[in-house]
Structure 1
Amino acid sequence: MTAAPNLQPREATAPRLVNVLHSPKRVRVKFGGRTIADSRNVLVLRSNHFLPIYFFPPSAVDPSVLKPSLHREPHAVGGETAYWDIDSGDKRAANAAWSFTAPPDENLAPLAGRIAFTWKAVDQWFEEEEEVFVHARDPYARIDVLQSSRRRTRPRHGWNS
């Protein structure tokens, strides 16, 4: 992982900048009344041309709800994406989960095999214990204080000592 570049401005003519970061948060996805993804090992794809995207390790996603789709399309950062339908039994969303078939360059290699969800296709997103609306939070755009079920302690001599 490389250091996070400044991703502003977000103008159509701006050069495309992307980076992948580890999220320090527990992230969960709910669909059809059940949790379909839950991980403390989520990666965030950031760009100056689209909103942040969470990528889950396959082991954190309930495989019983993913049904392979024939849909494929190119992604804005390059490379092809493969899709899955989500089917919880009571509810179905077409092409709602996806991953890169092969990450287009070495900067995106950590995303290989990881699964992302189309934000509006699922019912709820949670960071720690807080529901998130609209899009994933960019860890470099603001500071968030979130309710968490995890015990966090501050080091005696500060975070950066």
Structure 2
Amino acid sequence: MATRISHLLNQALPTLRYEPTSKRVRASLGGQPVLDTTHAVLIWEPRRTVPIYAVPETDVLADLAESRAEAMRAPDEAMVLTPDDAFALHTSDGTALDVQVPGHALEAAAFRLADPDLPGMVLLDFRAFDWLEEDQPIHAHPRDPFCRIDIIPSSRAVRVELEGMVLAESAHPVVLFETLLPPRYYLRSAEVRWDVLVATETSSMCPYKGTANYWAPASGGRNVAWSYAKPLPESAAIAGLVAFYHERTDLLVDGHRLGRPDSPFR
């Protein structure tokens, strides 16, 4: 019987997953070195959708001490955990650790895994430190080696609606395909009805695309659109274009109304 690979990946979501990397990985805090290793491992805790780094405790240059703060367990009703969920919400067994370097002390910013297949490995809170892969700074979270992005121009007719109101319409979108996420249709700014949208203070950082800014309906509600003004070089094709959450709006492609997908952004 044939097996769909995306189903295999989703079936693994409840498990502790790891993948070694050959990259030299370093982290610092306030200019002070925290770790330097060529033996890092990408870790996905159960229900986590993106990886962070674990490193051998022997490669940690900062002082580690068992934290007085108890490791928090993510609630069972949280089916998936995204980069917006706190590092302190752990779904695997282990011990919370404080990280100390001269002039800085971070409570529970590390986590010693108890899994027998990962002896001596310590997770570090990605947001708490400045990171390098080789000599390149990385942001948001490490890149997933099993995730791919393709950005392709299209001639499909696309219309975005919300409660019957047209938000944007294009005959020449740029489509971004990202592993395990719905296709994202990016439209030119002139094709967007800015009179029915309002900019919000929300921003987010993606390790593949860069920093995004967001818009919500002028009538109120959650963010429905975003744009990368200055994307990373590999995503330059979407610079200044605008995409909409298919999970929160109604999307018509070539006249066909698509169902709203089930994703962490619903």
TM over 0.5: yes
C-alpha separation between the residues in 2 aligned to 1:18 and 1:52? Answer: 11
**Compared CA separation, residues 14 and 52, structure 1 to 2 (3 A):** closer
TM-superposed CA distance for 1:48, in Å, is: 6.3
* Conservation of the 8 A alpha-carbon contact between 2:47 and 2:91: no
TM-superposed CA distance for 1:10, in Å, is: 8.9
Match of 1:141 in 2: 147
Match of 1:119 in 2: 126
From 111, 115, 132, the counterpart of 2:138: 132
**Compared CA separation, residues 8 and 27, structure 1 to 2 (3 A):** farther
TM-superposed CA distance for 1:112, in Å, is: 2.3
Match of 2:30 in 1: 32
Match of 1:157 in 2: none
TM-superposed CA distance for 1:34, in Å, is: 1.5
Structure number with bigger Rg: 2
* Conservation of the 8 A alpha-carbon contact between 2:53 and 2:126: no
Task: Output the TM-score relative to the length of structure 2.
Answer: 0.42
Residue 117 of structure 2: SS of its match in structure 1?
helix
Residue segments in structure 2 that go unaligned for 5+ positions in a row = 75-88, 150-206, 208-266
Amino acid corresponding to residue 119 of structure 1 in structure 2: F
Q: What do residues 6-45 of structure 1 show as CA deviations (whole Å, max 9, x unaligned)?
A: 567998x996355311112111111131211111111112
Aligned length: 131
Task: Output the TM-score relative to the length of structure 1.
Answer: 0.66
TM-superposed CA distance for 1:126, in Å, is: 0.7
C-alpha separation between the residues in 1 aligned to 2:5 and 2:30? Answer: 37
C-alpha separation between the residues in 2 aligned to 1:97 and 1:28? Answer: 15
Residue segments in structure 1 that go unaligned for 5+ positions in a row = 104-108, 145-161
Match of 1:41 in 2: 39
C-alpha separation between the residues in 1 aligned to 2:13 and 2:65? Answer: 36
Residue 26 of structure 2: SS of its match in structure 1?
strand
Residue 110 of structure 1: SS of its match in structure 2?
coil
2:65 matched to 1:52?
A: no
Q: Which runs of 4+ in 1 moved over 4 A?
A: 5-11, 75-78
TM-superposed CA distance for 1:87, in Å, is: 1.7
**Compared CA separation, residues 132 and 7, structure 1 to 2 (3 A):** farther
C-alpha separation between the residues in 1 aligned to 2:64 and 2:118? Answer: 18
Q: CA RMSD in A?
A: 3.3
Identity of aligned residues (%): 24
Q: What do residues 99-143 of structure 1 show as CA deviations (whole Å, max 9, x unaligned)?
A: 22x22xxxxx33222011111122x01111100010011112149
